[in-house]
Amino acid sequence: MKAMILGRNGQLGWALERRLHGRPDLIALGRAELDLADAGAVAAAVESARPQVVFNAAAYTAVDRAETDRDAAFAVNARAPEALAAACARVGAILVHYSTDYVFDGSKAGRWVETDPTGPLSVYGESKLAGEQALAASPCASVVLRTSWVYGDHGANFAKTMLRLATERDALRVVSDQHGTPTWAGRLAEVSESIARQALQSGDAVGWLGERRGIHHASAAGETTWTEYARCVLSVAQDLPPWAGRLKVLGAQVEPIPSSAYPVPARRPQNSLLDCGRLARTFGCAMPDWRGDVEAYVRRLAAA
Ligand SMILES: NC(=O)c1ccc[n+]([C@@H]2O[C@H](COP(=O)([O-])OP(=O)(O)OC[C@H]3O[C@@H](n4cnc5c(N)ncnc54)[C@H](OP(=O)(O)O)[C@@H]3O)[C@@H](O)[C@H]2O)c1
């Protein structure tokens, strides 16, 4: 697999690089090597490397900052994927791209399926949706994995923030009216590799993925809220060094609050639950329940 990873220093890019480590011809690029705001440079990088598969883990992910930085968000999340897809089509590479539950408005009662109408509440969501649409309009053989609440071994995320705050503050109040599942970046990397491997093993990667192209939901199974997620993280941590005896807030003490009590610039969907049936049917990839991966993650952080 001659693979190219974009966004190597992000949570998912880092996980992808670990997952594909040791493969000959692996090209992993961070912002310093390739600025996705420069669409011409994106195309040139693909055309000179001529990979078989590109994993685009780079994105403008500062959800609140995007509200006042619309152009930068659209450059990275919409125009770069468009240029990337065009270049992949030219060199015959397949493309694995990522999107977000924030393309939805959160109003559905059940789990969102891929064909549900989108309605982003934020500039970030709009820019990621524009990226999805650019790929749909391109002849490139691409798959878009829509995921939610990503946390990785490398990089900042909600779980690490909760662990830090629980050692600093006497109380933790966390939003309880947004529903979704935290998804481990390592799990997404595993699914991404599986899809690429299946495509390449078919002998006609472009044709094979072309028949299966489009959006697939890919988030952990189960259901939770930010409050329950925080409780899970702290409940595991409170029995482990280096946190045992140091946490001022224990898992059971996390207090639920409504989103209205935690004002932020960008609105978030209340229901982010994704139905991942299409991913299982198309690629045979099933994501496990969120809780086991979060517990293992906290134990790994403790061991590190
Ligand atoms: N994080 C979540 O909760 C979440 C939820 C749903 C979907 N997703 C999607 O999942 C994918 C992976 O997210 P993640 O959590 O791994 O994101 P992340 O940790 O924020 O990583 C994104 C990476 O993109 C890079 N990047 C940003 N602007 C760039 C530019 N102009 N040129 C080159 N690189 C640039 C960043 O570089 P620097 O390191 O230099 O900043 C960073 O390494 C994204 O498509 C995201 O939209 C994420």
Residue whose CA is at the smallest distance from ligand 1 atom 37? 31
169 falls within a domain = no
229 falls within a domain = no
Quick one: pLDDT band at residue 254, thresholds 50, 70, 90? Answer: very high
Name the active-site residue from 60, 102, 124, 229. 124
Q: Does the structure show a pLDDT above 90 at 110?
A: yes
- Tokens read off for 250: 């224990």
In degrees and rounded to multiples of 5, residue 216 shows phi and psi of: -135, 130
Contact in structure between 254 and 131 (CB atoms under 8 Å): no
Long-range contacts of 14-17 (CB under 8 A, 24+ apart): 14/152, 14/153, 14/154, 14/155, 14/185, 15/152, 15/153, 15/154, 15/185, 15/186, 15/188, 15/189, 16/55, 16/57, 16/189, 16/192, 16/193
> How many angstroms separate the CA atoms of 21 and 113, rounded?
33
Contact in structure between 73 and 61 (CB atoms under 8 Å): no
> How many angstroms separate the CA atoms of 124 and 72, rounded?
10
Q: Which residues, listed in sequence order, are joined to residue 274 by a DSSP beta bridge?
A: 112
What pLDDT digit, counting tens, does each position of 167-206 carry?
A: 999 999 999 999 999 999 999 999 999 999 999 999 999 9
Residue labelled with tokens 């189960």:
222
| Ligand 1, pocket-test mutation among 34, 60, 61, 128, most atoms within 8 A of CB | 61
CA of 139 relative to ligand 1 center, distance in Å:
25
Residues in contact with ligand 1 by the CB-under-6-Å rule are: 7, 9-13, 31, 35-37, 57-61, 76, 98, 100, 128, 147-150, 155, 185
Atom of ligand 1 nearest to the CA of 75: 31
Give me the pLDDT at residue 30, please.
97
Query: What domain range includes position 79?
Result: 3-157+181-222+272-287
CA of 76 relative to ligand 1 center, distance in Å:
10
User: Tell me, what amino acid is at 206?
Assistant: V
- Tokens read off for 283: 């690629």
Residue whose CA is at the smallest distance from ligand 1 atom 7? 100
DSSP letter at 52? Answer: S
Contact in structure between 8 and 30 (CB atoms under 8 Å): yes
Contact in structure between 114 and 147 (CB atoms under 8 Å): no
Atom of ligand 1 nearest to the CA of 124: 47
For residue 220, the tally of other CB atoms under 10 A from its CB is: 27
Query: pTM of the full predicted structure?
Result: 0.97
Contact in structure between 241 and 303 (CB atoms under 8 Å): no
The mean predicted confidence, pLDDT, of the chain is: 97
> How many angstroms separate the CA atoms of 249 and 162, rounded?
10
N-terminal to C-terminal alpha carbon distance within the chain: 31
Annotated active-site residue 262? The verdict is no
227 falls within a domain = no
- The domain that holds 153 is classified in CATH as 3.40.50.720
Give me the pLDDT at residue 22, please.
79
138 falls within a domain = yes
Residue whose CA is at the smallest distance from ligand 1 atom 24? 58
Mean pLDDT of 244-262: 95
246 falls within a domain = no
CA of 57 relative to ligand 1 center, distance in Å:
6
Residue from 36, 28, 22 nearest 3 by CA: 28
Task: Report the percentage of the chain scoring pLDDT > 70.
Answer: 100
175 falls within a domain = no
292 falls within a domain = no
22 falls within a domain = yes
> How many angstroms separate the CA atoms of 202 and 286, rounded?
21
Give me the pLDDT at residue 23, please.
81
* Residue 43, C-beta contacts closer than 8 angstroms, at least 6 positions apart: 83, 84, 86, 87
- Number of domains present in the structure of the chain: 1
What pLDDT digit, counting tens, does each position of 13-64 carry?
A: 999 999 998 787 899 999 999 999 999 999 999 999 999 999 999 999 999 9
What pLDDT digit, counting tens, does each position of 137-151 carry?
A: 999 999 999 999 999
